[in-house]
A and B are shown apart, each in its own frame.
Chain A
């Protein structure tokens, strides 16, 4: 089945230790998104790629970066995680179209010790 895959599902890191979260998709969608979700709140968009074009939200901290080496994969790098970065990180994809739908992966829950 075509899908959005996130690895790992749970990630534990130490305060200040860089961490990378992974997202892959078999949908061949040209847009990939990274969201942060805390405590069942609304997901907050961090950035997205339209093909290779990177679009950063204005309020996304510099601590968060992303890479998209090819159509299928996208990575979220947190350079120096703080306790406030503990959250669920959601990857989503969409195909550019009128009223396009975003399809989400299962998420990675990040714990910062």
Chain B
């Protein structure tokens, strides 16, 4: 079975400061890892993914994530947060070679304070 943990329900950060949203995963085999963002009453918007290769993945809107196999983590980061980054963030995992269903974490509400 595959699972994702987002240990923080809520993350607050001041505008201009770096932000980190944490994600750890558990799968059998190699993982495919994804980050999505959701604004109120909207669908999920794809930010970035890790399939293979470079452990540092760059995505939309200045976000990046680092795949750490030994720590089974895929934390989302941004060097300088914007108020408009305030949203709900979901990490998701799928094992390579398995059925295509994604397993989502419980979500982390990011609030960027002006």
Interface set of A (CB-CB < 8 Å, partner B): 4, 6, 31, 40-43, 45, 48, 50, 57, 88, 90, 92, 94, 96, 98-107, 109
The residue in B32, B38, B105 that gathers the most chain A C-beta atoms within 10 A of its C-beta is B38
A21 to B22, CA, bound (A): 34
A101 to B101, CA, bound (A): 11
A43 and B49 contacting across the interface, CB-CB below 8 Å:
no
A31 and B32 contacting across the interface, CB-CB below 8 Å:
no
Minimum CB–CB distance for B56 against chain A, Å: 16
Q: Which B residues are in CB contact (< 8 Å) with A107?
A: 41-43
Q: Which B residues are in CB contact (< 8 Å) with A48?
A: 100-101
* Contact pattern, B 81-114, Cβ under 8 Å of A = 1, otherwise 0: 0000000101000001000111011110100000
A98's contact among B42, B51, B105, B106, by CB below 8 Å, is which? B51
B100 and A101 contacting across the interface, CB-CB below 8 Å:
no
Minimum CB–CB distance for A18 against chain B, Å: 24
A100's contact among B36, B52, B90, B100, by CB below 8 Å, is which? B100
